[in-house]
Structure 1
């Protein structure tokens, strides 16, 4: 088996992004701890890195909201990346009034954001995700689809096409569209639904295998059980793709009156859920303690980083906001050791440099200041 390509940012430059007017950050280390008081822009730096991947970034914010307050133009984020093709330069920018963001790779305009996945995969873990297991099913679907995208670059486009086609069907139902028009839209909808569901199911199965393998390492993060649930998944059963498409089209036809009354399509993979359990306690993750839920989520992300490396052939860039603050010293040390073993580049944030005193050799702490500075601190490791 070939060794995975080690991918890492060596330099990150921001212009008029959030609170940063200009910032140039050298970040060659594998484990990078960004330290500073609240409000200096630590999470903003993580968000900037997240824009180097398809999607809306880790905050799912509007692009205009990312422009520094008082700036007359837009923002720009650029990075120098070391990967399998040597050095690559990636730039992302946005100007007020533009419909989307501009993406340039090695000086050339990118045709789509999916081209970013040829160079790097970006994963993240945020405090806002702490309520993932107790929150809405839609949040878990978005979480799952980000996981799938990291191992299957075509998944984002399939999900977008599915959502677009669902909106078209819902409009037809609302407008009293004819059966012929509905037949045509549902004929497009069924294969998209099956493709999205199959991609999710495969990713969940592969991730489950990685979680089981990781459990043998004795990490202080409980093993999670994961599976897809929902009427569509129950209907899928052991059907092959063609039979499932036919079965779903029949359900759509049968459900037109009900869906018209509801104002939306009530059945499909857009209603599926990711069920997570604490295996050792044989209980839903939603019923676990707050600390156990955090530990389960960390374990999931670590296993997913491992899976991403195995499937894509490149190590991901991992963003972990305030991950160390609520872990005891033993779990912090175990987390840092596992991140080092995974060999992916990791950006972490914290208000206290002491949280990162157990970083392995090769880690670096960068102190951010309110003046917009970024100063590497000596670190023995």
Structure 2
């Protein structure tokens, strides 16, 4: 059993699952079945054991099973080293999501100190060719895996920025109000910048530049608009102060870590990731996720839990086999989905297999020996 693993998972009225109870032994988990059967819903439930809105970033109400709309619940047992934890997250109709850890109500941020989790989902296949927002989320989830306090810094920054943006839109000119909010933004913004840079250094150190299967990517943080990025608290405070007139005209804050973008260079070919082939872009993403996991294993003594949804897309048979070997060698718990068991043939005897089917609108998960 790895040092961090989900040992049981209960889904109650969550998405297509009326009641699903799964037991895991710590090995990789392969969930296979036709599209729409409810495989990704299992991964989404697992993702809600970590802070945030989950891998789909869905509204709480959208996670309730239809047509009942009774509210939903996810309950899990985890081992984390010698510790054991019971995590429950649920939502009643019209109510916000609640988190309970070991029988006590807790903020979502507390999950980040118990569970380190990374994921790769099909929508991320276009990460390098779409807008900066998705890359920024990818960067922040990577960062939060190393530093759970990063989530608090982001929340504090965004709260102060919303207030500043309100002042800008209302054309308020009271300098004292701006100075107070900008001081908060500079403090939390500097922490965000430092956390992100530290995460990139750790991931870079864990990549293998000579890996031909999952090639290394050189990552850097740039401004989405091409302007120079403030780096320190003092620089950020000056940029916010100097930019008030411009920001007032725009009705929003135009400088700060919320304007950052993640740039990636395919090192072996010396080309931007956006210019690589579809298969190469997927391999680069997997390379980063695996490097992130290796770095966490080095830092914490245990690899994170990995959620890899439809990961076989754009991977040939050799790359799939190589990925399976890497996951087993990593020694952590990984959850993979795919339409057929044959996609996971090289995991035979090294993973748990589950078949997911849909009957009359209800997802059913059953053990599939392999």
Among 93, 97, 100, the residue aligned to 1:101: 97
Contact 1:32 1:363 in 2 (8 A): yes
Q: Quick one: structure 1 residues 362 and 267, their matched pair in 2 at CA, closer, same or farther if it must change by over 3 Å?
A: same
Tell me how far 1:312 sits from its aligned partner: 3.2
Q: Of the candidates 203, 207, 214, which is equivalent to residue 207 of structure 1?
A: 203
Asked if 1:373 is matched to 2:346, the reply is no
Shift of residue 245, structure 1, vs aligned partner: 2.2
Shift of 1:107: 1.9
After superposition, give the CA deviation of every residue in 1:177-232 in whole Å (9 maximum; x if it has no partner): 21121122112211111111111011111111111xx345x451111110111267
Which residue matches 1:154? 149
Number of the residue aligned with 1:90:
87
TM-score by length of 1: 0.92
Q: Provide the rounded CA distance (Å) in 1 between the counterparts of 2:295 and 2:319.
A: 22
Distance 1:138-1:325 versus aligned 2 partners, 3 A rule: closer
Structure 1 counterpart of 2:135: 140
CA distance in structure 2 between the aligned counterparts of 1:350 and 1:276, rounded to whole angstroms: 28
8 A contact 2:77–2:85 mirrored in 1: yes
Cα shift at 1:52 = 0.2
Give 1:314 shift. 2.9
Question: Secondary structure at the residue paired with 2:34?
Answer: coil
Query: 1:9 offset after TM fit, Å?
Result: 1.2
2: CA distance, partners of 1:362 / 1:251: 54
Partner residue of 2:194? 198
Aligned to 1:348: 336
User: Separation in 2 of the partners of 1:219 and 1:333?
Assistant: 14
* In 1, Cα distance between equivalents of 2:337 and 2:80: 24
Distance 1:259 1:325 in 2: 43
Q: Over aligned residue pairs, what C-alpha RMSD do you find?
A: 1.7
The one of 62, 65, 68 equivalent to 1:68 is 65
8 A Cα contact 1:233 1:272, kept in partner = no
Question: Which residue of the partner structure matches residue 182 of structure 2?
Answer: 186
CA distance in 1, matches of 2:185, 2:84: 41
**Native 8 Å contact 1:232 1:268 kept in 2:** no
TM-score by length of 2: 0.94
> 21, 39, 45: which is aligned to 2:42?
45
Q: Which runs of 5+ in 2 are unaligned?
A: none
Structure 2 counterpart SS, 1:370: strand
* Separation in 2, partners of 1:320, 1:16: 23
Q: CA deviation at 1:85?
A: 3.5
Alignment match, 1:358: 346
Residue pair 1:324, 1:355 contacting (<8 A) in 2 also? yes
State the distance in 1 between where 2:40 and 2:139 align.
22
How far off is 1:26 after superposition? 1.6
- Segments of 4+ in structure 1 off by > 6 A? none
Structure 2 Cα separation of the partners of residues 7 and 55 of structure 1: 19
2:283 aligned with 1:295: yes
Note the residue ranges of structure 1 that are not aligned, 5 or more in a row.
237-243
Q: Pick one of 313, 320, 323 that aligns with 2:301.
A: 313
- Following superposition, the deviation at residue 71 of structure 1 comes to 1.8
The structural deviation recorded for 1:247 is 2.7
Aligned residues: 364
Quote how far apart the aligned CAs of 1:86 are: 3.5
